[in-house]
Chains A and B, each alone.
Chain A
Amino acid sequence: DIVMTQSPDSLAVSLGERATINCKSSQSVLYSSNNKNYLAWYQHKPGQPPKLLIYWASTRESGVPDRFSGSGSGTDFTLTISSLQAEDVAVYYCQQYYTPPYTFGQGTKLEIK
């Protein structure tokens, strides 16, 4: 199985400041035939289902605010929230869909400082 490791486990950021979450996969999730990284980011709030934010490592899902961005390739990825809003408090997960079993990182809890 591909192991996904996120850092940090928790993060406190002031409103309006930048938040950065890292994700590392135990093997590359870059598919050479189409040059796509099979990596997604989800936002998970209490009492709600996870919400897809980013796929192909850097493509925003429809309706996701542009303060959310994803970057990286191969085994190292980053989710950035450029200006933290109160509604962004949540747990964020990276997930590889390169090969089953699809696996998630352990989650990063994002709070307001």
Chain B
Amino acid sequence: QVQLQESGPGLVKPSETLSLTCTVSGGSISSYYWSWIRQPPGKGLEWIGYIYYSGSTNYNPSLKSRVTILVDTSNNHFSLRLNSVTAADTAVYYCARGSIVAGRMDYWGQGTLVTVSS
């Protein structure tokens, strides 16, 4: 059974960089797409971007200038970096697997709350 687990700081200061890692277990990171999605408190879901196991990426234009997603196939994890954060970046961040096509997300991590505050 494929499992995804997000990890990283739960509190980030404004203007700093949010960094999260998603560790994949129970399956290989190869041959799939790996996405980050977030949900601000009381709001809906926003897709941040994906990385293919080969390293190609696609980012949401609304965040593109601040986002980097990287993959580490040897350690079966991928990561999110979001720089110059503000309070508007406070959200539950989910990682998810895309299979068949990138946007069909069949396995999700439990999510991790990241709060941006000084």
Contacts and interface: CB of A to CB of B under 8 A. Distances in A.
Contacts of A44: 45
A93 B101 contact: no
Interface stretch (B13-21, B58-66, B70-78): B58-66
Contacts of A100: 47, 50, 58, 60, 102-103
A95 interface: yes
Interface in A59-113: 61, 93, 95-98, 100-107
B47 A104 contact: yes
A30 B27 CA distance: 31
Interface residues of A, number: 25
A100 B108 CA distance: 19
A97 B58 CA distance: 13
B47 A103 contact: yes
A50 B45 contact: yes
Contacts, number: 59
Q: Which of A52, A55, A96, A101 has the most CB of B within 10 A?
A: A101
Nearest to A50: B108
Cβ-closest 6 pairs across A and B? A97-B103, A49-B108, A101-B60, A102-B103, A102-B47, A104-B45
27 contacts: A38-B101, A38-B103, A40-B104, A42-B45, A44-B45, A48-B110, A49-B111, A50-B45, A50-B105, A50-B108, A52-B105, A52-B106, A61-B106, A93-B45, A95-B103, A96-B103, A97-B101, A98-B103, A100-B47, A100-B60, A100-B102, A101-B60, A102-B35, A103-B47, A104-B44, A104-B47, A106-B44
